[in-house]
Amino acid sequence: MKIPEAVKTKVEAAIPLDRQVQAAHLYDKGRRWLTGTNGQKMFVEGPIPPVEEVALEDIDLSNPFLYRQGRWASYFKRLRDEAPVHYQAHSPFGPFWSVTRHADIIAVDKNHEVFSAEPLIVIGAPPRFMDIAMFIAMDPPKHDVQRRAVQGVVAPKNLREMESLIRERVRDVLDNLPVNEPFDWVSTVSIELTARMLATLLDFPFEQRHKLVVWSDLATSMEQANGGPSDNDELFRGMVGMARGLGALWHDKAARLAAGEEPGFDLITMLQSDENTKDLIKRPMEFAGNLILLIVGGNDTTRNSMSGGVLALNRFPDQFEKLKANPDLIPNMVSEIIRWQTPLGYMRRIAKADTVLNGQFIRKGDKVVMWYASGNRDETVFERPDELIIDRRNARNHIAFGFGVHRCMGNRLAELQLRILWEELLPRFERIDVVGEPEYVQSNFVRGISQLMVELTPKGAR
């Protein structure tokens, strides 16, 4: 049965968000009990064979361990060379097409008339009711209305207001780092700085900033969505916490504004001072969708670019020397790091009509996955694509922010945050050495580094 949209909206509006999530949790428990899948993991890690040993039609890029095991680059290369628009008929997430060349990806990404972002942008599907509507997974015109309501917060004009605060917070973290002894860069720097940035963006209570990270990590690690390692009970409990926390933030901000506090440059203030969104809290699903999208969109991505940059400069030490000799390269290096890391592996679309893409016939209803991680290593666009080259002439042509109407809304914020990080790192440290092998995230979507042990040598200490 299909519930009419208007009725659904009314019902959703009448029931507080945390209650809705709790109901969804009960539903999911019932589903797992009925289907006998409770406690069973969808994915168990096994060694992935070299790509030469796999038949073309068996290549399955949805395997959530490809990135962790370092096989992804060779798998992508084989598809780019032999089947740039490739069909996988039997993945655990069902059949899907993989688009791996730079030009083909742009063609799909900019054509929302044929390739719809609805209803989801990951290969799989999150548990029922966890698929909260976000504009990243809406087509125009619905998408445009929602995006317009929030994009001001990360627009360059607003960022100018936030830059000094971001820089101050970066300095504070860097000044307190341990030197000459190993520590984990991911938790100490990447996660910490990202949490501070997100707290600034939302004016979320600073001392509770780690909650933002926990919620976001839960939301992006669902196994049914992208092969992540999450536990559904933990997930739903976390989401109830998030619903309450964000609701409380809204009401607290409204009260402070009413009491005459100076309005800030944050998202909540912005929504509350706009006629169209000042009552957004009364549309809880839309409220949650917009806030979660910003938190999730800004979290893993920025974090993994901060970690990926350190890793890449260690893999290509001559580039670190080049950087120290010429710090003016930082802005271009930031683009190059984002290309090299490509924090989000792909976005997914559904064909709305029969169509032909690079010679392959794609049917209406087929799932199409645009592999940004592959497009960014396309040798027809980037020379020596696997190398980090900080003065690469066309680094900005990377595809990691996507293209078309969904092009990353936070791109300038991400670049700003990374630029400030490197501007503040260079005068402080002579060396940033990775010690030991990094650990990687389980996912087919997030290309994440979960641990990166480093040792810093301060400037002037030899």
- The site for other proteins (CB under 8 A) is made up of 106, 109-110, 140, 144, 147-148, 151-152, 155-157, 396-397, 401, 403-405, 407, 411-412
Kindly report whether the peptide bond that precedes residue 119 is cis, defined as omega within 30 degrees of 0.
yes
Binding positions for ligand HEM, rule: CB under 6 A:
109, 135-136, 147, 154, 201, 293-294, 297-298, 301-302, 305, 338, 343-344, 347, 372, 400-404, 406-410, 413-414
> What minimum distance in Å lies between the beta carbon of 400 and ligand HEM?
4
Q: Which does 343 bind (CB under 5 to 8 A by kind): other proteins, ligand HEM, none?
A: ligand HEM
Closer by beta carbon to other proteins, 148 or else 278: 148
The count of C-alpha atoms lying within 13 angstroms of the C-alpha of 256, restricted to the half-sphere facing its C-beta, is: 14
Closer by beta carbon to other proteins, 310 or else 420: 420
Q: Which does 140 bind (CB under 5 to 8 A by kind): ligand HEM, other proteins, none?
A: other proteins
Query: How far apart (Å, rounded) are the C-alpha atoms in residues 441 and 75?
Result: 18
Q: Which does 332 bind (CB under 5 to 8 A by kind): ligand HEM, other proteins, none?
A: none
Query: How far apart (Å, rounded) are the C-alpha atoms in residues 233 and 26?
Result: 10
> What minimum distance in Å lies between the beta carbon of 167 and ligand HEM?
16
> What minimum distance in Å lies between the beta carbon of 290 and ligand HEM?
8
| C-beta neighbour count of 82 within 10 angstroms | 10
The count of C-alpha atoms lying within 13 angstroms of the C-alpha of 7, restricted to the half-sphere facing its C-beta, is: 3
Q: Which does 267 bind (CB under 5 to 8 A by kind): ligand HEM, other proteins, none?
A: none
Closer by beta carbon to ligand HEM, 86 or else 143: 143
Task: Give me the DSSP letters along 28-57.
Answer: HHHHHHHTT-TT--S----PPPPGGGS-GG
Output the six-digit token pair for 224. 């049914």
Distances 32 to 52, 105, 123, 131 between C-alpha atoms, Å: 38, 37, 21, 17
Closer by beta carbon to other proteins, 397 or else 450: 397
> What minimum distance in Å lies between the beta carbon of 418 and other proteins?
16
287 close to 17: Cβ distance less than 8 angstroms: yes
Q: Which does 414 bind (CB under 5 to 8 A by kind): other proteins, ligand HEM, none?
A: ligand HEM
Q: Which does 152 bind (CB under 5 to 8 A by kind): ligand HEM, other proteins, none?
A: other proteins
416 close to 163: Cβ distance less than 8 angstroms: yes
Closer by beta carbon to ligand HEM, 140 or else 182: 140
Helix (H) or strand (E) holding 234: helix 232-258
Alpha-helix residue ranges (DSSP H) falling in 35-155: 72-82, 102-109, 142-151
> What minimum distance in Å lies between the beta carbon of 334 and ligand HEM?
9
Give the dihedral sign, CA 236/242/245/247. Answer: negative
Closer by beta carbon to other proteins, 21 or else 121: 121
With H, G, I as helix, E, B as strand and everything else as coil, classify residue 446: strand
Give the dihedral sign, CA 446/450/455/458. Answer: positive
> What minimum distance in Å lies between the beta carbon of 460 and other proteins?
35
> What minimum distance in Å lies between the beta carbon of 159 and other proteins?
9
